[in-house]
Amino acid sequence: MAIILGVDPGSRITGYGVIRAEGRHIEYLDSGCIRVGEMPMAQRLQTIFQSLATLIGEYRPEEFAIEQVFMARNPDSALKLGQARGAAIVSAANSGLAVHEYSARQVKQAVVGKGGADKSQVQHMVQVLLSLSRKPQADAADALAIAMCHAHMSQSILRVASGAGKVRGGRVRQQ
């Protein structure tokens, strides 16, 4: 059983989602948004860092997953996004958590079944898969999807690893 904190970083709104994964069973624990608005960039980064540190202290996740940087059309926006990601990653690293990164395409593929899904499809599937009474806010839904993607990827790795040395076709398969 692992508690996973997923983060969808943003320079104005950073989504977070906390789930508990045990085998294929995933349980919703919490989600929301860290809203930093129009404050100076240094204060935004500090707020993201401290807010995530508080969440880590409260939920004690064993795993931390975050969305990889994508190439934005606006270089200034891409730099700000990178800074927000950095604040989130350092918050996790300071707590001793390994950081797992997934592309938006991987996340959408894991949760919706197609890498080109739009935000509303991700929200809907997160609501359905976690049996939520209503759709989470878009950034929180993305963060939950990132956490779920990590849970699925971790399970896939465990299945492959546990398959090493099994007998197939009369021979022992070694890896």
Radius of gyration of the chain (CA): 17
User: Which residue shows structure tokens 């997923």?
Assistant: 6
Q: In whole angstroms, what is the distance from residue 44 CA to residue 78 CA? A: 15
- Reply yes or no on whether 67 is catalytic: yes
63 is in an annotated binding site: no
Residue among 58, 67, 76, 118 flagged as catalytic? 67
Residue among 62, 101, 118, 139 flagged as catalytic? 139
8 is in an annotated binding site: yes
Mark 50-72 as b/e (b = at least 16 C-beta within 10 Å). ebbeebbeebebebbbbbeeeee
- Reply yes or no on whether 142 is catalytic: no
**Do 93 and 100 form a contact (C-beta atoms < 8 A)?**
no
118 is in an annotated binding site: no
- Reply yes or no on whether 139 is catalytic: yes
Q: In whole angstroms, what is the distance from residue 129 CA to residue 2 CA? A: 17
Q: In whole angstroms, what is the distance from residue 96 CA to residue 108 CA? A: 27
Q: Residue ranges for the binding site?
A: 8, 67, 139
Active site residues: 8, 67, 139
